[in-house]
Copies of this chain bind each other. A is one copy, B any other.
Amino acid sequence: MGIIVQKYGGTSVGDVERIKNVADKVIKTFDQGNDVVVVLSAMSGVTNDLLRLANEASDNPDKRELDVLLSTGEQTTIALLAMILKSRNYKAVSLVGSQADIRTNNISGNARIMSIGSGSINQLLKDRNIVIVAGFQGYDVAGNITTLGRGGSDTSAVAIAAAIKADMCEIYTDVDGIYTTDPRICTKARKLEKISYDEMLEMSSLGAKVLQIRSVSFAKKYNVPIHVRSSFNEEKGTMVVSEDKGMESILVSGVALDRDQARVTIKKVPDIPGISARIFTPLAEGDVSVDMIIQNTRSDSRTDISFTVTKNDYKKALEISNRVADEIGASGVICADQIAKISVIGVGMKNHSGVAASMFQALADENINIRLIATSEIRISCMIEEKYAELAVRVLHDTFNLDKNEAIQS
């Protein structure tokens, strides 16, 4: 018995029948004696339908009004679930973002949760209500409706769990947990029993799109245990939790692949102080988000600077780079968009060397050229040609024995 927050994504509430299945799961948890708060996304497809309407209305829909429009999606699902629960004689109350007192900043379309007033939810729970909260939305200090950006319902759920000090935040989705790598690419991929927040952060930012990255940061900050599991079966999924001793004994937890990458290299940049700022400030001003940056010093007191961006930002990055290259007297710009980033992740790396070497050797054995390397404390990423992406995933999965439980021990 405890306080459980359950979040159901768009496919889990895709139609009224599925929402009835959600009701079954909610009731089961409630009948076990738990307090239950449910956070819902919009029915799958609804957000896209609303975006289509918005684009009919305007080529560049106003962001404040887009939030007013999009927030109706979750409002619909919470009302439907509450109706279903009440028709089964359970007390239930739906709350939109402002009613749940989910206060955000005023960045329409990509707002951040600033605070959650837990008073109303706590009171409703005390009165034995199942509380159903619209995910993805909040309101700002001026009373405007805001949304948290795509996938924001995960963050809503974790933030509510933190605010009401829930014992568990269950994220129900259409996959049944976090895998060592993408099972569609590597059939040996194995579902992880648990994973640390930090590993999950590296995984999700690298394209394993099960959990929104911001929700994981939130969970880490407030130490909210997350259980990622399928809404279509009763299996246990993957726990996302604080690092523990057992985890550190595992060198590598997963292999992540991100195909949404493009590389820009500015050749023969004069190697003088402040030159990096002259390159990256215009990119930031152009809203281009830069991922990896590598600088190779050459023998001629000039340097090649390479960086990667998402394919979406590629064209804009190229334009800006060409302009900047002219201004700073670089020799030119070369680029590539047929590339992918492959990463191995594991908290165990922190205390062990040799992971990078094993990774590079494994790729070399397959004649896969590494174009860029970037690392964090618990991650090593290599940029490779896109055509080798899937091969690389399988090779690294084998190299680190990820198909076996607790494969590489310290």
Contact = CB atoms under 8 A, between A and B. Distances in A.
A57 B78 contact: no
A84 B68 contact: no
Given A57-B83, A69-B75, 9 more contacts: A50-B76, A54-B83, A57-B84, A58-B84, A58-B87, A62-B82, A66-B79, A69-B80, A69-B83
Tell me the number of copies of this protein: 2
Contacts of A185: none
A94 B76 contact: no
Interface string A26-67: 000000000000000000000000100110111111101110
Given A72-B72, A75-B72, A98-B98, A66 B53 contact: no
A53 B86 contact: no
A86 B98 CA distance: 25
A19 interface: yes
Interface of A is mostly: helix
Contacts of A145: 96
Contacts of A78: 68
A57 B50 CA distance: 22
A305 to B, nearest CB: 39
B99 A83 contact: no
A19 to B, nearest CB: 7
8 contacts: A16-B56, A58-B83, A58-B84, A60-B87, A62-B86, A65-B86, A68-B82, A96-B145
Contacts of A19: 57
B75 A79 contact: no
Contacts of A86: 58, 62, 65
Contacts of A68: 75, 78-79, 82, 94, 96
A143 interface: yes
A387 to B, nearest CB: 43
Contacts of A71: 75
B99 A143 contact: yes
A62 B83 contact: yes
A60 B83 CA distance: 9
Contacts of A143: 99, 120
Question: Closest 6 A-B residue pairs measured CB to CB?
Answer: A69-B79, A58-B87, A72-B72, A68-B79, A16-B56, A62-B86
Given A54-B83, A86-B58, A69 B65 contact: no
A45 B50 CA distance: 16
Q: Taking each of A65, A66, A120, which has the highest tally of chain B beta carbons within 10 Å of its own beta carbon?
A: A65
A59 B87 contact: yes
Nearest to A54: B83
A400 to B, nearest CB: 48
A76 B72 contact: yes
Contacts of A61: 83, 87
A81 to B, nearest CB: 8
Nearest to A52: B16
A65 B53 contact: no
Given A75-B69, A75-B72, A80 B54 contact: yes
Contacts of A96: 68, 145
A77 to B, nearest CB: 9
B76 A69 contact: yes
Interface in A258-283: none
Q: Taking each of A58, A66, A87, A143, which has the highest tally of chain B beta carbons within 10 Å of its own beta carbon?
A: A58
Contacts of A83: 54, 57-58, 61-62, 65-66, 69
A312 to B, nearest CB: 23
A60 B96 CA distance: 22
A93 to B, nearest CB: 8
Nearest to A71: B75
Interface in A148-170: none
A96 B20 CA distance: 29
